[in-house]
Structure 1
Amino acid sequence: MDPVTGLSLGRIAIGVGALVAPAPTAKAFGLDPTNNPQLGYFGRMFGAREIALGAVTLVSKGALRRNLTLVGMAVDSADAASGAAELTSQTVSKLSGIMLIGGAVGAVGAGVVGLVLGRGK
């Protein structure tokens, strides 16, 4: 499986989890939905975005697939920056911050590998 396909499937899986079960998904990322009941709303928005981006990238080809991969990398870069900001302000634990940042950076890396291999074109 090429990296862009794997990344797209991962986006869809995480998105479904966040959309259907936002509290357990938030907990899996080390977040605290109990003390932040509005997290479900943002989790569902995140989930819908991930499903849409993953699905459209998965079925696209050529330049559109490459461009959608770049969009995904931009989104994941913003997620990494957001995780770093939360870690710096100590609104998440060190472990949660590392998990959030690591997942986002890993997704950017998968996009880079996919583009370099020419499979994200």
Structure 2
Amino acid sequence: MNPVIGLSLGRIAVGAAAVAVPEMVTKNLGVDPVANPQASYVTRLFGVREIAIGLATLTTGGKSRKGVIGIGVLVDAGDAAASYLAMQEGQISKKAALTLLGPAVGAVGSGLLALVRRG
């Protein structure tokens, strides 16, 4: 599958789950929604953002698509950095950080691959 389409569909699927069942997504990411009652709210914000980036990527072409992919790479790099910092500051466990870092770093790689292949 084309990495752009795969990453976009993945974003939409993860985003939809985050909006529809934020407590489940939060738990799967290693964050306790009971101890962190705001986690569901933040998870829904994340979900809407992922859906928007996924749809924007699928519905644009040419230079516009390349720009949206670039924005996605920056967002995913920011997610990876935030996960690392949260672990360093003791806000999340190492296990939770690795659960969050893996997909973010993978998405950065997929986005960069897509940019290189399109360039």
TM norm structure 1: 0.94
- AA of the residue aligned to 2:109: G
Task: Tell me the distance in 1 between the aligned counterparts of 2:102 and 2:30.
Answer: 13
Measure, in 1, the Cα distance between the counterparts of 2:87 and 2:54. 27
- % same residue: 45
Partner of 1:31: 31
Amino acid at match of 1:87: M
Aligned counterparts of 1:67 and 1:61: Cα–Cα separation in 2: 10
Give the Cα separation in 2 of the matches to 1:100 and 1:45. 16
TM-score (norm 2): 0.96
Who is 1:4 aligned against? 4
Runs of 4+ in structure 1 deviating by more than 3 angstroms, as ranges, are none
Q: 1:30 Cα shift?
A: 1.0
Q: Distance in 2 between matches of 1:60 and 1:29?
A: 30
Mapped partners of 2:38, 2:89: distance in 1:
20
Q: In structure 1, give the amino acid aligned to 2:51.
A: I
Q: Which residue of 1 aligns with 2:65?
A: 65
Amino acid in the other structure paired with 1:43: T
Distance 2:20 2:49 in 1: 13
1:43 deviation in Å?
1.0
Cross-structure match for 1:104: 104
The alpha-carbon deviation at position 17 of structure 1 amounts to 0.6
Structure 2 unaligned regions, length at least 5: none
Deviation at 1:96, TM superposition (A): 0.8
The runs of 5 or more residues in structure 1 that have no matched partner are none
Aligned length: 119
Q: Which moved more, 1:26-35 or 1:63-72?
A: 26-35
